[in-house]
Amino acid sequence: MNRYDNILDSFEVYFTKVLSDIGKERSLSFEDIERLKKSPAFRLVVLAPFISDCDYAEMFAYANTSTLITAGKHPEVFNPTKDISIETRATLIIENIRNYAKDKKVYKCCQQALILISIADHKKDLDDDKRINKFNPLFDESIRKKYETLSSKLCKEVSRCKKLTDLISVEFILSDGFWN
């Protein structure tokens, strides 16, 4: 029994409420909110504090969503660099819940899912990034192979996390790499 079962039982309603509230505050269009509803990353950052049984889960759900929207609005600040790994960039968004998560195993699964989303996003963007000369860590063949191996391992790990996969399937996490 989780203290947030009421939210988890109707997560879709709660997720829509969070996006709607943040959308109003940020003056997002209806189309923007609908696009964000389809994002595995947004769904995950709202869900993670609840399934990790965090103190202050609602505060973190709103804060994480707001941060992810900021990242989307300011890509020049949040774009990948050679100095920060995909893992660090992907998990930064939920790092704030680490000390508050009562279920550390589920927290780790949420981190792994965000890494999968980020890798999928980088894969999806390879051709466009080359065309516009934007750095993508997967340009390097050896790094791409490393992340292909890591993705396979992480898929297995995430698929074992029932608290997560009951609400977000691994297929959805890998669906299109939609980060923001």
Predicted local confidence at residue 179, as pLDDT: 63
- Residue that the structure tokens 């890591």 belong to: 150
Using CA atoms, how far apart are residues 28 and 26, in angstroms rounded to an integer?
6
Sketch the domain layout of the chain as residue ranges.
5-173
107-156: pLDDT as tens digits: 999 999 999 999 999 999 999 999 999 899 999 999 999 999 999 999 99
The full 3-state SS of the chain, as one line of letters, equals CCCCHHHHHCHHHHHHHHHHHHHHHCCCCHHHHHHHHCCHHHHHHHHHHHHCCECCHHHHHHHHHHHHHHHHHCHHHHCCCCCCCHHHHHHHHHHHHHHHECCHHHHHHHHHHHHHHHHHHHHHHHHHHHHHCCCCHHHCHHHHHHHHHHHHHHHHHHHCCHHHHCCCCHHHHCCCCCCC
Using CA atoms, how far apart are residues 38 and 130, in angstroms rounded to an integer?
26
Tell which residue, 61, 69, 72, has the closest CA to residue 7. Answer: 61
Average pLDDT rounded to a whole number, residues 62-90: 86
Q: Over 70: is that where the pLDDT of 1 sits?
A: no
Q: Over 60: is that where the pLDDT of 180 sits?
A: no
